[in-house]
Amino acid sequence: MTRADLADVTGYSPTSDGFANLLGKLRTLKLVDYPSKGEVALP
C-alpha cells in the first residue's frame, strides 16, 4: 500500500509529522515495514 493511500484511509495527511511519528512507532514495534520508497507493508 502506498503511504499516501494509508494516510487517506486513516485520516492523516501523508506529509504530517503526526503520521510520520505514527509510522515510525509502528516500524519500531515491527508492525509495518517500508519495502520501497513511498510504500508501507505488513511484515
pLDDT reported for residue 8 = 97
Answer for the pair 30, 42: CB distance below 8 angstroms, yes or no.
no
Phi, psi of 39 (to 5 degrees): -115, 145
Answer for the pair 19, 12: CB distance below 8 angstroms, yes or no.
yes
pLDDT reported for residue 15 = 95
pLDDT reported for residue 24 = 97
Q: Report residue 38 as a C-alpha cell.
A: 513511498
Phi, psi of 5 (to 5 degrees): -65, -40
Query: 0.75 exceeded by the pTM?
Result: yes
For the chain, domain boundaries: 1-43
* Local structure of 10: helix, strand or coil: helix
Taking only the tens place, the pLDDT of each residue in 9-34 is: 999 999 999 999 999 999 999 999 99
